[in-house]
Amino acid sequence: MKSLISFAKRSAQLAAGFVCAIALAAGVPTVAGAQVLTTDNVCGKTADARGITAENLPDIDATNALVMGKDGTVYYGRGADEQVKIASITKVMTAILTVENCKMDEKVTVSNTAATVGNSTAGLLEGDELTVEQALRGLMIPSGNDAAIVLAEYVGKKIEPKTKDAEATFVKAMNERAKKLGCTGTLFENPHGLDFDEWAGDMHSTAHDVALMMQEAMKNDTIREVVASEDSWIEVTGADGADHSHSMDTHNYWLC
């Protein structure tokens, strides 16, 4: 029992990464301050069923959490299969499809649609040209919606060269890839995660599915390098042919 209680306490820090990603980044209401729930799952059973008292459980500030080992074993869960909005965590799947379909030195061009998407962006302008690697930086470091569309349009066209809607082709591929990973509670409707106004819909995922996507993403060296990067700049060639770089804001949902 002592070892199980010790594990439960250690789980608090491990769970925080996935919890913040699924609840905070998605704009889902979080628990008002840290909370202990004896209904949390510990190694396949609720804490109540295991006789673990509240004072021996992790107090985490989130509504949905999961701690999963490399082999897929679930050690800790809170509402892990509940379908909730995921917002920019969507970009994890965008990154996965990008690295699976592109070489990092391939060039992409920013469309008007990408440049005008708004909200969180990498500051890309229509006509900018940059490598796939730089676009990934724009996607992952500032959670750039513009970079997400750039990559979706480019990769969608690679997946289906004759497509008349590259972004829709890409979103279809996102959902197919999620199913291959074993995600059963996930639905993507765009490559960036915006889910209000013109983007309003039924896009959702679960803490368990997010864990599977994160696990897959972090197998890739390029993604790992971008996540570990201490630089927050991106290099592009403008429509006028001039090379330039600019700094970007950072979002840390990749640090789980």
51-76: per-residue pLDDT in tens? Answer: 888 888 878 888 899 999 888 899 99
pLDDT at residue 57, as a whole number: 82
Q: Tell me: the pLDDT tens digits for 90-138? A: 999 999 999 999 999 999 999 999 999 989 999 999 999 999 999 999 9
Question: Is residue 58 helix, strand or coil?
Answer: coil
Place of tokens 């006509």: 127
Cα–Cα distance measured from residue 125 to residue 169, given in angstroms and rounded to the nearest whole number:
23
pLDDT at residue 162, as a whole number: 97
pLDDT at residue 247, as a whole number: 83
Report residues of the chain scoring pLDDT below 50: 1-32, 255-256
DSSP 150: H
Give the residue numbers marked as catalytic: 88, 91, 143
Place of tokens 């004759």: 162
pLDDT at residue 198, as a whole number: 93
Place of tokens 């990408």: 114
pLDDT at residue 253, as a whole number: 56
